[in-house]
A and B are shown apart, each in its own frame.
Chain A
Amino acid sequence: GENVEQHPSTLSVQEGDSAVIKCTYSDSASNYFPWYKQELGKGPQLIIDIRSNVGEKKDQRIAVTLNKTAKHFSLHITETQPEDSAVYFCAAAEAGTALIFGKGTTLSVSS
């Protein structure tokens, strides 16, 4: 079955810096890769996703890149702000199957 590894487990940056979180997956059949942001005590919220037919997707300060050959994908946050502080999860799945999640990255943005 699918296995998703996520690094780093914690990340601390200064406000205005960029943050990068990386994930690798094992199942070459996976073709859907979402990223979720979870604030303390709340459910995860989808922030961006990418499908295997594209290599990069952007939404304002957030971007995701996908390398299917190497089986890894990354989340990039530019111009970080204190409100970006949260736990971020990556996930992978083949269409129609259950998402498998990484163990999460705790991002801290200090002002």
Chain B
Amino acid sequence: DGGITQSPKYLFRKEGQNVTLSCEQNLNHDAMYWYRQDPGQGLRLIYYSQIVNDFQKGDIAEGYSVSREKKESFPLTVTSAQKNPTAFYLCASRSQGISTDTQYFGPGTRLTVL
């Protein structure tokens, strides 16, 4: 069963706490992405990584951090510096071929700050 898994599906956090969202893929894709989704805002890019041990900031990286130690894994940490973290977080992966760069999404994690 191939694809992208995200865990947990629902996550609750108290203000001031850091929390890490998991993303794993077994599609052998080089590139992985994190997006944040808010009602009416579409999908906004937080961070992305095109190869292991390398990643770049997206449009809304402040208050977030990532790591890419393995090709299969791209965890996202939401830090206490993120002022409004309640949102739906989506992980995606993509092959890097010129004509085969289809991007697939995981099922998402809904984070709620209490």
Interface residue ranges, A against B (CB under 8 Å): 6, 9, 32, 34, 36, 41-46, 49, 51, 89, 95-96, 98-104
Chain B residues, CB < 8 A from A42: 107-108
What 1/0 flags go to B41-57 for Cβ under 8 Å of A? 11111001010000000
**Contact residues, B84-114 vs A (CB, 8 A):** 90, 96, 98-99, 101-108, 110
The chain B residue sitting closest to A43, CB to CB, is B105
Interface residue ranges, B against A (CB under 8 Å): 4, 6, 33, 35, 40-45, 48, 50, 58, 90, 96, 98-99, 101-108, 110
Number of residue pairs A-B, CB distance < 8 angstroms: 51
Would you call A103 and B101 a contact (CB within 8 A)? Answer: no
- Docked pose: A89 CA to B40 CA in angstroms: 12
B15 to chain A, nearest CB (A): 25
Chain B residues, CB < 8 A from A96: 50, 96, 98, 101
Would you call A45 and B42 a contact (CB within 8 A)? Answer: no
Chain A residues, CB < 8 A from B58: 98
Which of A9, A34, A43 has most B Cβ within 10 Å?
Answer: A43
Once A89-B43, A98-B48, A98-B58 are accepted as A-B contacts, the answer to whether A43 and B96 lie under 8 Å apart by CB is: no
